[in-house]
Amino acid sequence: DQQVKQNSPSLSVQEGRISILNCDYTNSMFDYFLWYKKYPAEGPTFLISISSIKDKNEDGRFTVFLNKSAKHLSLHIVPSQPGDSAVYFCAAKGQGGSEKLVFGKGTKLTVNP
Amino acid sequence: ETGVTQTPRHLVMGMTNKKSLKCEQHLGHNAMYWYKQSAKKPLELMFVYNFKEQTENNSVPSRFSPECPNSSHLFLHLHTLQPEDSALYLCASSPAEWGGLTDTQYFGPGTRLTVL
């Protein structure tokens, strides 16, 4: 049973527009959420995170929003750039005090020039 | 070298072979992890080592045998694997397993394993 779900396997966006990647989770014990980005032939790299005590965290072009009541988070990239084309993984941790990461399956973002 | 390195990057092996994957981190971290990524599945945690001690074995078959001789090195010994074990094997490190929720895991590039 998947505790972290990324229901869109792929997303295609035009350069300069906003990319919105979504993630849903089922375990209400999760209290820390992360986004990782993965290019082909490389390992995932940490992008941005958010604690459950916040509903928004911003870092440059990247903003993560958390809606605890809906158990939903989203990553906004604006403006999108071709170099943002990668697979984006949502991850969560904190269930029952555990710091183990639980990952979603990933969403492949393609930003077209 | 900086970050987390993994060797080999690609490995093809038969079901009767014995091989090892190597991971090295240059970040001064104390926790190291093995993950498996199969096609169309989420990353699955396999093993966790914290200060060289194994603290997690996520019901991994015994044909996968981890070894952590020190906080900088992690191995995954493979023997009598099955074709369904073909996957991307990722190593990660973090300051400590219980260093706090905000500790970030840093990943290596992975070893793409194919079992024939």
Q: pLDDT tens digits, residue range B18-54?
A: 999 999 999 999 899 999 999 888 999 999 998 888 8
For the beta carbon of residue B107, count every other beta carbon within 10 angstroms: 23
Look at B104 and A46 and tell me if their CB atoms are within 8 Å: yes
Which residue did the predictor score with more confidence, B12 or A97?
B12
Determine which of A99, A103, A107 to mutate to test the interface with B (most B C-beta atoms within 10 Å).
Answer: A99
Q: Which of residues 53-112 of A touch B (CB under 8 A)?
A: 89, 93-94, 99-106
Q: Does B65 touch chain A (CB under 8 A)?
A: no
- Say what the pLDDT of residue A101 is: 87
- Report d(CA A68, CA A55) in Å as an integer: 8
Structure tokens that stand for A84 in this block: 């943002």
- Say what the pLDDT of residue B41 is: 87
- Say what the pLDDT of residue B61 is: 94
Max Cα–Cα distance, chain B, nearest Å: 42
- Report d(CA A77, CA A58) in Å as an integer: 10
Does the pLDDT at position B98 exceed 70? no
Reduced to 3 states (helix: H, G, I; strand: E, B; else coil), residue B39 is: coil
- Say what the pLDDT of residue B97 is: 60
Determine which of B5, B37, B74, B97 to mutate to test the interface with A (most A C-beta atoms within 10 Å).
Answer: B37
Whether A11 contacts A109, CB under 8 Å: yes
Look at A105 and B109 and tell me if their CB atoms are within 8 Å: no
In percent, how much of chain A has pLDDT > 70? 96
- Say what the pLDDT of residue B88 is: 95
In percent, how much of chain B has pLDDT > 90? 69
- Say what the pLDDT of residue B102 is: 63
Q: Does A3 touch chain B (CB under 8 A)?
A: no
- CB nearest A100 (choices: B9, B40, B45): B45
- Say what the pLDDT of residue B52 is: 86
Closest residue of chain B to A49, computed from CA coordinates: B102
Does the pLDDT at position A97 exceed 60? no
Does the pLDDT at position A112 exceed 60? yes
Q: Which residues of A touch B106 (CB under 8 A)?
A: 45-46
Dihedral of CA atoms A23, A28, A32, A36 in degrees, nearest 10, equals -20
Q: Which residues of A touch B102 (CB under 8 A)?
A: 32, 49, 51
- Say what the pLDDT of residue A69 is: 95
Whether A111 contacts A84, CB under 8 Å: yes
- Say what the pLDDT of residue A16 is: 97
Of B22, B18, B19, nearest to B8 by C-alpha is B22
